[in-house]
Structure 1
């Protein structure tokens, strides 16, 4: 199933289709789960504000980057010399249940 062999420092490694390296072709790993594996849905924050200088940003999906927020037509840039301390206080839960 798409397996290949690589030699590293004189040792044969079996590389399977998930790019896992196994010590040799005779190694067998068997994992059995008693319950179905659940996958968590993780969400990212969409806005943030610096607690020191007031810089405000939002996440732009099209650009895949943070963008400066505008308020009354003016960009909320804050201080260019600030080491931003974003308003992360532990109330944001990235795991969606």
Structure 2
């Protein structure tokens, strides 16, 4: 019997601060948001398709203002873990 890895989905939360989160489901996305971004106030959570998420992430900059490499983008999307991919720059 083979154990199947969970399928990750991509979510955006816009308020009170923007974040794009990779998670198994919306519940995990909200937990990730509360732990790493801000309190969740029942705001709308939008699911986006993986290609849109990857395109947005690939346009982001590192904390040093550098463009992410293709390999960095692929590595982040390949990791089997819930994570905050993008966060409002005002929170850095």
TM-score by length of 1: 0.23
Higher strand share: 1
TM-score by length of 2: 0.24
Higher helix share: 2
